[in-house]
Amino acid sequence: MHGFKKNIVLTGFMGTGKTAVGQELARRLGRRLVELDEEIEKAEGLTINEIFSRFGEPYFRDRETDMVKRFSGQDNLVISTGGGVVLRDENMTALRKNGIIVCLKAAPETIHKRTSTSDERPLLNVDDPLKKIRDLLAYRRPFYENADIVVETDALSPAEIAEEILRRIDELKGDG
């Protein structure tokens, strides 16, 4: 079981649990977790917020694509992406070549609750973050649904989500 080398790529909107689930999957599988946003921050020497405010979202998206290209060719990784990585076809093509794409989903209210304690979310630094979440989710929905596996995270713990992902990967591979 789980004897595959492909990367597990976690996509989904901010606040859907990508970091916590990524940590759980990496621990269970003995794999390295690569957080693309952290890798961008390390490479740039700036926080995501600083990159957005100094250089804008297009610059950030270019750095994100650089990181996708850097890590998507490696094996046995758990890759946690930023919420907008799905917006570029070239990102998804690169990630899918050697990865199983998993989208984590949550209701707008759940996302709002999970993200409201952080000011590290540049796209939500607006007067009505819940409306912004709904608008971004509506726009991004077709991009997120272009995944191999979709898991609703609202009522599940990271351990339960990881278990569900591994079960569904086994089904995809025909082991289960």
Helices (H), 73-144: 89-97, 108-115, 129-144
The answer to whether residues 169 and 4 touch, using CB atoms and an 8 Å cutoff, is yes
Q: Set out the domains of the chain in order of their start, with CATH numbers.
A: 7-171 (3.40.50.300)
Number of residues that make up the chain: 176
Q: What pTM did the predictor assign? A: 0.91
pLDDT band at 1 (very low <50, low <70, confident <90, very high): very low
For 58, other C-beta atoms within 10 Å of its C-beta total: 7
pLDDT digits (tens, 9 = 90+) for 76-112: 999 999 888 999 999 999 999 999 999 999 999 999 8
Confidence tier at 149 by pLDDT (50, 70, 90): very high
**pLDDT of the residue at 175:** 53
Average pLDDT of the chain to the nearest whole number? 91
